[in-house]
């Protein structure tokens, strides 16, 4: 069955690594944690264990940020992962929950339509009308289940949830209890319970967190990759892994091709060429690392199904253009200017210039 899944949960995909860490982990574990904080950080950042077992890096970035995030979850403070789109907030959240609780599936997905029941609890109305309010009629939310079992609950895109619904978390985070007035009862959190929330600081039309809710979170800002090499490594690793998981009939992407995509994204994102000589206009989109991974993955699919199995410029042109030109008027002008002033003049990039120019015209 596992081989037919489009995407495995972190605890499934990396079960061997988690088991190896648990076996070697002789450090103090907080109540109900599967691993010690040190082992959780090692799981995310990667490294070689004493027995020679190699743990792959799930997050390429600052060790200090990962350690702060893990240490926060060992306290009574909730964790808010904050940053621009594509900085691996959900990815880090999933892997933290997998390493700590062995279960990353207790998720509330935040949208403008998320109701309070998604955070608190709901009711089986057929049972409720027949038998009245009771524990049997109660439908626990992922947060309530995490409280009962001493596990980590995840709240994705917290700032997209309406403010009055967000505030349902205040009592849970401050009192570590969830009242059920209809039953004159409450659910008290078991040790090990905590919440990881993510929020996007560039999303339009978001709902600001109340000061009361902000105080219940320790905020860790996940930055965009600091260097070109770091971002290339992330895109190369993730796109190769995704290509294998999707069984794309293409070779792993060449680092040089990935570097070209990442270079374009970084220059347009920063409004400046890498050599610092030319100022550029930035498009309306974020051009995140996640979008670069998507472009490379789309290119691999094109190369595998309609090409010779190797990633070339013409496989990536449509994906690059689509990621950049979100606004057909404003972004098209920005992209054409970049093509003519930068890409056209860059040695060895003529194939990509011609392919992109053909798409945008």
pLDDT tens profile 132-153: 888 999 999 999 999 999 999 9
Return d(Cα 43, Cα 41) in angstroms, integer: 5
Return d(Cα 5, Cα 150) in angstroms, integer: 28
Q: Looking at residue 120, which CATH number applies to its domain? A: 3.40.50.300
Any idea what DSSP says for residue 279? B
Q: Are residues 217 and 182 in the same domain?
A: yes
Q: Are residues 248 and 152 in the same domain?
A: no
For β-strands 152-156 and 177-180, DSSP reports them as unpaired
Domain count, the chain: 2
Q: Are residues 34 and 154 in the same domain?
A: yes
Any idea what DSSP says for residue 182? G
Chain-centre distance for alpha carbon 281? 27
- Going by C-alpha positions, the residue among 200, 196, 195, 237 that lies closest to residue 222 is 200
Q: Are residues 12 and 158 in the same domain?
A: yes
Residue 190's domain comprises: 2-221
pLDDT (0 to 100) of residue 3: 62
Q: Are residues 33 and 140 in the same domain?
A: yes
For 43-90, the pLDDT digits (tens) are 999 999 989 999 999 999 899 999 999 999 999 999 999 988 889 999
Return d(Cα 217, Cα 155) in angstroms, integer: 12
Return d(Cα 31, Cα 143) in angstroms, integer: 18
For 94-130, the pLDDT digits (tens) are 999 999 999 999 999 999 899 999 999 999 999 888 8
Chain-centre distance for alpha carbon 52? 29
Q: Are residues 199 and 277 in the same domain?
A: no
Name the H helices within the chain.
10-13, 15-24, 37-45, 63-73, 89-101, 125-131, 142-149, 163-166, 168-175, 211-214, 228-245, 255-270, 289-306, 313-324, 330-338, 350-360
Q: Are residues 160 and 294 in the same domain?
A: no
Structure tokens given for 184: 């004159």
Q: Are residues 125 and 217 in the same domain?
A: yes
Return d(Cα 91, Cα 88) in angstroms, integer: 5
216 CB neighbour count, 10 Å cutoff: 20
Cα-based angle 176, 83, 105 (whole degrees, multiple of 5)? 50
Return d(Cα 256, Cα 262) in angstroms, integer: 10
pLDDT (0 to 100) of residue 238: 92
Q: Residue 326 in contact with residue 285, Cβ under 8 Å? A: yes
- Going by C-alpha positions, the residue among 188, 113, 180, 123 that lies closest to residue 150 is 188
Choose one of 202, 221, 240: the last residue of a domain.
221
pLDDT (0 to 100) of residue 219: 95
- Global pTM reads 0.91
pLDDT (0 to 100) of residue 361: 76
Return d(Cα 246, Cα 64) in angstroms, integer: 33
Return d(Cα 316, Cα 287) in angstroms, integer: 15
Q: Are residues 52 and 137 in the same domain?
A: yes
Q: Are residues 136 and 212 in the same domain?
A: yes
Identify the burial level of 135 via C-beta atoms within 10 angstroms of its C-beta, where 0-12 means exposed, 13-18 middle and 19 or more buried: exposed
Choose one of 175, 191, 221: the last residue of a domain.
221
Q: Are residues 326 and 193 in the same domain?
A: no
Q: Exposure string (b/e) for 99-126, b if CB count within 10 Å is 16 or more?
A: bbbbbbebbbebeeebebebbbbbeeee
Which portions of the chain are predicted below pLDDT 70? 1-3, 202-206
Return d(Cα 213, Cα 192) in angstroms, integer: 20
**Is 139 strand, coil or helix?**
strand
Choose one of 221, 238, 253: the last residue of a domain.
221
- Going by C-alpha positions, the residue among 198, 181, 187, 304 that lies closest to residue 251 is 304
Q: Are residues 79 and 175 in the same domain?
A: yes
Distances (CA, A) of 148 to 99, 139, 140, 186: 19, 13, 10, 11
């Amino acid at each position: 069955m596992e081989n037919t899944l489009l995407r495995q949960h972190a605890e499934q995909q990396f079960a061997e690594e988690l088991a190896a860490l648990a076996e070697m982990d002789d450090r103090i574990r907080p109540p109900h944690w599967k691993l010690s904080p040190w082992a959780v950080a090692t799981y995310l950042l990667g490294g070689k264990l004493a027995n020679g077992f190699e743990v792959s890096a799930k997050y390429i970035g600052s060790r200090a940020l990962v350690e702060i995030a893990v240490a926060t979850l060992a306290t009574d403070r909730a964790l808010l992962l904050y940053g621009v789109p594509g900085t691996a907030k959900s990815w880090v959240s999933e892997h933290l929950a997998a390493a700590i609780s062995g279960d990353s599936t207790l998720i509330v997905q935040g949208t403008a339509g998320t109701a309070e029941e998604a955070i608190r609890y709901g009711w089986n109305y057929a049972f409720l009308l027949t038998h009245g309010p009771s524990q049997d009629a109660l439908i626990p939310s992922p947060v309530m289940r995490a409280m009962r079992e001493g596990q980590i609950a995840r709240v994705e895109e917290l700032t997209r949830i309406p403010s009055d619904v967000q505030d349902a978390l205040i009592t849970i985070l401050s009192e570590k209890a969830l009242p059920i007035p209809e039953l004159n009862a409450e659910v008290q959190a078991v040790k090990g319970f905590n919440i990881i929330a993510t929020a996007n600081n560039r999303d339009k039309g978001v709902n600001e967190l109340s000061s009361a809710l902000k105080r219940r979170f320790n905020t860790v800002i996940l930055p965009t990759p600091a260097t070109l090499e770091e971002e290339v490594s992330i895109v190369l690793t993730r796109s190769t892994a995704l290509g294998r998981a999707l069984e794309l009939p293409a070779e792993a992407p060449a680092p040089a091709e990935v570097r070209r995509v990442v270079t374009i994204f970084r220059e347009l994102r920063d409004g400046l060429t890498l050599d610092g000589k030319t100022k550029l206009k930035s498009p309306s989109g974020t051009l995140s690392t996640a979008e670069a991974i998507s472009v490379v993955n789309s290119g691999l699919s094109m190369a595998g199904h309609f090409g010779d199995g190797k990633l070339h410029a013409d496989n990536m042109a449509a994906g690059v253009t689509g990621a950049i030109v979100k606004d057909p008027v404003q972004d098209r002008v920005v992209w054409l200017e970049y093509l003519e002033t930068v890409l056209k003049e860059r040695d060895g990039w003529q194939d990509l210039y011609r392919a992109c120019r053909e798409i945008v015209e």
